[in-house]
């Protein structure tokens, strides 16, 4: 493959990642609004923080696209899924993270084969972050399994009380 074509392919892969990250930003903010509305503060906050992380991913990808002389296609890869149930939400998010890890591994490999180590490194950094995101959602799924879905509401009650958790205060 000619150098020009290799660059173009990297831009394509990076833009596919931008589209996925934008979809995640939209989806996680949607989840944030609804979980917050349901009074599930800590979980709502987890989604907000994660959405901000995904936005930073868009930025890292965009910088690389511009460096390669491409244009950033700011189009989300998917419509927002209108889920409201906390357990369904967390399972959906874990699935999205799992899918991202799979996709970025393939992209990293292809960039490496095309002698684009710079883009490969970005994908590898993202893989680390997405695995971290997967882990945090998986922990919530685990806790729901162990303590039941009500644990999410109880977690909220604790955090809503000023000074909660400080023994003997
Ligand atoms: Fe991401
Ligand atoms: Fe993520």
The neighbourhood of ligand 1, an ion, using CB within 5 A, equals 21, 54, 57
**Which domains occur in the chain, in start order?**
3-156 (1.20.1260.10)
Token pair, residue 49, equals 């923080």
Contacts 24+ apart (CB under 8 A), 35-43: 35/86, 35/89, 38/84, 38/86, 39/153, 39/156, 40/86, 40/152, 40/153, 40/155, 40/156, 41/156, 41/159, 41/160, 42/152, 42/155, 42/156, 42/159, 43/86, 43/90, 43/140, 43/152, 43/155
Ligand 2 centroid to Cα of residue 114, in Å, is 25
pLDDT score for 159:
54
The model's pTM is 0.90
C-alpha 54/C-alpha 147 separation (Å) is: 29
Ligand 2 centroid to Cα of residue 50, in Å, is 7
pLDDT digits (tens, 9 = 90+) for 21-61: 999 999 999 999 999 999 999 999 999 999 999 999 999 99
Contact between 111 and 126 (Cβ < 8 Å): no
- The ligand that comes nearest to the alpha carbon of residue 50 is 2
C-alpha 87/C-alpha 100 separation (Å) is: 20
Place of tokens 């180590």: 117
Handedness of CA 6, 9, 15, 19 (dihedral sign): negative
pLDDT digits (tens, 9 = 90+) for 52-79: 999 999 999 999 999 999 999 999 999 9
Contact between 96 and 27 (Cβ < 8 Å): yes
Ligand 2 centroid to Cα of residue 65, in Å, is 20
pLDDT digits (tens, 9 = 90+) for 136-152: 999 999 999 999 888 88
């Amino acid at each position: 493959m000619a150098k020009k074509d290799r660059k173009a392919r990297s831009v394509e892969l990076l833009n596919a990642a931008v589209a996925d990250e934008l979809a995640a930003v939209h989806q996680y903010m949607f989840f944030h609004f609804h979980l917050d509305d349901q009074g599930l503060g800590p979980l709502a906050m987890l989604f907000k923080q994660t959405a901000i992380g995904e936005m930073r991913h868009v930025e890292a990808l965009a910088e690389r696209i511009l460096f390669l002389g491409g244009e950033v296609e700011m189009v989300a890869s998917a419509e927002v899924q209108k889920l409201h149930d906390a357990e369904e939400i967390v399972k959906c998010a874990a699935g999205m993270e799992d899918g991202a890890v799979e996709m970025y591994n393939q992209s990293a490999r292809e960039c490496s084969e095309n002698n684009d180590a710079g883009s490969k490194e970005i994908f590898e950094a993202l893989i680390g972050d997405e695995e971290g995101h997967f882990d945090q959602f998986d922990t919530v799924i685990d806790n729901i399994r162990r303590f039941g879905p009500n644990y999410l509401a109880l977690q909220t009650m604790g955090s809503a009380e000023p000074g909660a958790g400080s023994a003997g205060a």
